[in-house]
Chains A and B, each alone.
Chain A
């Protein structure tokens, strides 16, 4: 099939330049996903029915509507209500807010696995709610949910490719553009896959490291 390494070599700098956008969206999106996900999860399991239902509604919407449509709405429909976000901000927000819905559910599952006796004991000892969360519940939930969280963060890296619909030349988009000019999709896609793989290898490596440390403790 005359596989051409030259084509990969020649276009590698452009692919790597595009991967910087992928990285930026992923890292910023992850921060939003985790922080906002913890709050959402707390709201979802809260005894206050209003909070809990609002969180359920949020999760249903952000998991239900395809991210592609969410992004188009954030970028092309918010201007009609007076909110004109720059493309990169819209991309990061959409990716992060959507991923937070999944993160919240992962944490909720993990929290359920923590024996209820621990919370009861903390209440009995008069430990304030914030310390209960920070010192007792979240560390354990993170340990139990870590592999699923790493799954979600890796999915986030890949889903950042949708940022192309708001005009950001990230890795997948640039690979497709190069393919459109060189007519060598297999070569270019394999190179792009390798870059995604390396990014995700770092994430899953950090995940395994964290897992080991949390289990030792």
Chain B
């Protein structure tokens, strides 16, 4: 292993890591919000809207991110949609993550016994209050681990943004690999940086989990 490689490519790799974190944070938080909106729409709207949402979830979730991004970025200009690499990257990241998030939220809604919601309606509680005070606190218990899971999965999906020349971590690592004809060093770099992100996300997820399961730990 040659340490001078890390000195030579260090600044580019760290810049790439910064871009990775930026795209990941913007894309996954956007996806989380959009996913929640979709799950709520699915829960509280009429049949035709639900069919549209169903189709959206199945199509976006069922096709690879690389192909979605490729078609948006390289196919978009044919219909007058010319996006910059980072724009296309973050936009498609938000769209790609949203159906997964919405399914996780849907599972959370389902985990709350129907009787509780019906009882709350009977005593005249507003829908928004029911969501905030009864459904959300309970649904967060089962869905925090899958949400953390998916944030972690998305850290690695950022690597696909290299396909549209977003200068993220994999993009910079590939320069190092191709120019120097090495492979152990670049993979080591990739693993360490992603692992850092995963440890951070997992720690954050653990904190959220401790907070949302507080009420279960009385005994």
Contact = CB atoms under 8 A, between A and B. Distances in A.
A65 B106 CA distance: 29
Interface in B37-91: 58-59, 61-68, 70-71, 74-75, 78
B3 interface: no
Contact of B103 (A109, A151, A186, A196): A151
B142 interface: yes
Interface range, A side: 35 or more
Given A72-B187, A147-B104, A112 B152 contact: no
Nearest to A190: B71
A36 B149 CA distance: 17
A64 B194 contact: yes
A204 B142 contact: no
A68 to B, nearest CB: 8
Contacts of A161: 64
A192 B70 CA distance: 12
A155 B149 CA distance: 12
A102 B145 CA distance: 9
B159 interface: yes
Contact of A106 (B63, B71, B145, B219): B145
A109 B142 contact: yes
Interface string A190-217: 1011001111110010000001000100
A180 interface: no
A89 to B, nearest CB: 21
B176 interface: no
A66 B159 contact: yes
B61 A185 contact: no
B147 to A, nearest CB: 9
B61 A1 contact: no
Interface in A114-156: 116, 143-148, 150-152, 154-155
B74 A196 contact: no
A189 interface: yes
A144 B111 contact: yes
B64 A109 contact: no
Contacts of B195: 64-65
A60 interface: yes
Interface residues of B, number: 47
A144 B110 contact: yes
A211 B166 CA distance: 39
Given A69-B191, A192-B67, A200 B61 contact: yes
A142 to B, nearest CB: 11
Interface string B172-206: 00000000000000010011001100110010000
B11 interface: no
Nearest to B77: A1
Given A147-B104, A148-B107, A67 B156 contact: yes
B162 interface: no
A180 to B, nearest CB: 14
A132 B148 CA distance: 27
Given A106-B145, A152-B149, A60 B199 contact: yes
Contacts of B1: none
Contacts of B110: 143-144, 147, 211, 215
A109 B143 contact: yes
A147 B103 CA distance: 6
Interface of A: 1, 60, 63-69, 72, 102, 105-106, 108-110, 112-113, 116, 143-148, 150-152, 154-155, 158, 161, 172, 185-186, 189-190, 192-193, 196-201, 204, 211, 215
Given A113-B142, A151-B104, A190-B67, 8 more contacts: A69-B187, A102-B153, A110-B111, A113-B111, A150-B103, A154-B61, A196-B64, A200-B62
